[in-house]
Structure 1
Amino acid sequence: MDVWKSIPSWFKLDNYDHCANYSSLDWANELIMRCGSNIAGGELSELDKQIVEHIKNNGLSIRGKSYCYSEELKKLYEDNPSTYKKTRFAVTNLSQITAYSFFLDANNKEKIEHDFSLLDLSTCTKERWRIRSPYTHPIANLNYNHENAAYLEINLHASNEQLLMEFKDWLLETRGDTQDIVKRQFSKADFEDWHTSRVFAYWDLTTIAASENATIPLLMLGRALFPDEFDVELAARIQKVTKKKSKTLFSPEVVNALMAQAESEKTQWNNS
């Protein structure tokens, strides 16, 4: 493996200044553009080559002639008229299409139709309960997986306190108490921290170097990312701070949480 003797001339730290003003949507798009590529994974596709060229010329996707927004994010920039206007993103009422899909996609669709036809005809309470009983189990127990969504039945006669208490218990039981779960909204302080830590510039340099079967000495990398800092151990900062934050930022959990936050903020903007 080769070692870069100098930072390439195409790298310009100023190209990354604009992310100081990024929203959650902008951060998510930059991450998806990079995560969706195979820059460090072997032979580059034509799209990978376009992404590398754009990074070299512009750094951020929003600079210059924009490379393109991911399909997942295009819809957030476009106004998509709908017959039902959502007021929230992460917590919404169950849609008809989702409710129907549980039935239409069920492996035992014919049996469900048969049993419910008997249920309509039966007048015997005991018989009706016998027919209903197999269908009283939560859908989650049948291993349905609808795009990382879960569906609840909420008893609105219960107090707010009880509902919130039980939802908290359900959330812990369903998602688990793991370090992988993003437990709070990302704030401007997070965005500023990522910007000042130079996570995108770090990822771009190290990933493009890896695609060329090369590495970058940590001190050289530190001087390129933090040219105005002289009172810190730059190599240690790259190893212990920037590299660690970059790994966290590019994790699927953070990318997905940023996407959800961007969707939520878009919904709020549309309703303001």
Structure 2
Amino acid sequence: MTKTAAVQLSDLPTSFALEKYDACASFSIADWHNNLMQRALRRNTAADYRDHHIDELKRAANDCLQNPIFPARELQEGDGFEKNVFRSQIRDQTAFELLTGGSTLAADDERARAYRDAFTVMDREMHGEAKYDQEASHAYETLDVPAWTMLNDIGINMSGAVTVNVDLFASDDKLVDDFKAWLRVTRRALNIPSIQRRFTRADFDRWQQNKVLAFLDLSFWADINGLRLTNQILGVALFPEEYTIALADRIRKVVAPLALAASSPVYIEALLSQALEEAEQK
């Protein structure tokens, strides 16, 4: 969509008002999860179905500026954004998952050809006439990679969920060290950000103070209406009482990265799992 000239402060909808976001100061983790997820769902719908649902998306953008706080809802295990999320984010592979084999390699997907061909060769080696030739050696090398490498190569969205083998005969100390090392390598390879600790009130206060929800709502309103909203105008709209800092830089360096991270699938599903954990402990 081609965007028009930059929006001026006076062009912002009259329904937008910062005081409507004051409730964020007392948000629980469940409130943050629900409100961030609603923004992410709306953004994903726009990314995938903008042309088909443009009128509904414009109404949603206006409605969110009018009533930006989504009411609390009961969270349940199995809810999720991209996948089912549970209180514990380490779970056993089920017998069904093992026997059904998880993801399949579509016959018409060219990206999976190398893995399909390699498996055909190895199946022959194991259940037919074993040749132990160069073709078999190459096939073994192709398949001797983490399953998540293959799934990532062929474009399957794993939503951060991978299966790993754990040797329970090892000591606790050794297992913890090995897991931390594996976690670093795997997240880096899959380009998944590392959340080092549980979310705390300090995180929520930072989101509230930096007007994360208001930023997401104004940005979405401008985008879905084909308008260009500069960082300077965003800065003035979100921080009208601040004059001693470079507002455009604050939006670019702090607010935008913070808001986009908080509304990402990684954060949303981590928030949900922690909220389920905290609810269980009450």
Normalised-by-shorter TM-score class? 0.5 to 0.7
Q: Contact conserved, 1:249 with 1:255, CA < 8 A, in 2?
A: no
For the residues of structure 2 that align with 1:204 and 1:141, how far apart are their CA atoms?
A: 35
Q: 1:175 aligns with which of 187, 190, 210?
A: 187
Q: How far 1:191 sits from its partner (Å)?
A: 1.4
Q: Classify 1:102/1:33 alpha carbon distance in 2 versus 1 (closer, same or farther; 3 Å).
A: closer
What amino acid is the match of 1:144?
L
Q: Trace 1:154-173 onto structure 2 (pairs within 5 A).
A: 154-173=166-185
Q: Does the alignment pair 1:95 with 2:108? A: no
For the residues of structure 2 that align with 1:207 and 1:141, how far apart are their CA atoms?
A: 33
Aligned to 1:62: 71
What amino acid is the match of 2:203?
D
Q: Contact conserved, 2:87 with 2:276, CA < 8 A, in 1?
A: yes
Q: 1:187 aligns with which of 188, 200, 205?
A: 200
SS at structure 2 position matched to 1:151 = coil
Q: How far 1:175 sits from its partner (Å)?
A: 1.7
Q: 1:4 aligns with which of 4, 8, 14?
A: 8
Q: Does the alignment pair 1:263 with 2:272? A: yes
Deviations 1:117-152 (A, max 9, x none): 78xxxxxxxxxxx9xxx6994552771357232222
TM-score after normalising by structure 2: 0.65
Aligned to 1:18: 23
Q: 2:46 aligns with which of 38, 50, 62?
A: 38
Q: Classify 1:33/1:233 alpha carbon distance in 2 versus 1 (closer, same or farther; 3 Å).
A: farther
Deviations 1:12-60 (A, max 9, x none): 1111111221424234324314422439x97662330231121231123
Deviations 1:52-104 (A, max 9, x none): 121231123339xxxxxxxxxx8x734669xxxx6512x11112232223278
What amino acid is the match of 2:161?
A
Q: Contact conserved, 1:198 with 1:242, CA < 8 A, in 2?
A: no
Structure (1 or 2) with the larger CA radius of gyration? 1
Q: Contact conserved, 2:21 with 2:68, CA < 8 A, in 1?
A: yes
Residue segments in structure 2 that go unaligned for 5+ positions in a row = 80-85, 106-115, 129-135
Q: Classify 1:198/1:77 alpha carbon distance in 2 versus 1 (closer, same or farther; 3 Å).
A: same
What amino acid is the match of 2:44?
G
Identity %: 19
Q: Trace 1:85-234 onto structure 2 (pairs within 5 A).
A: 88-89=88-89, 91-102=90-101, 105=104, 107=116, 137=144, 139-140=146-147, 143-144=150-151, 147=158, 148-176=160-188, 181-184=193-196, 185-210=198-223, 211-215=225-229, 218=232, 221-227=234-240, 229=241, 232-233=243-244
Residue segments in structure 1 that go unaligned for 5+ positions in a row = 64-73, 119-129
Q: How far 1:114 sits from its partner (Å)?
A: 8.2
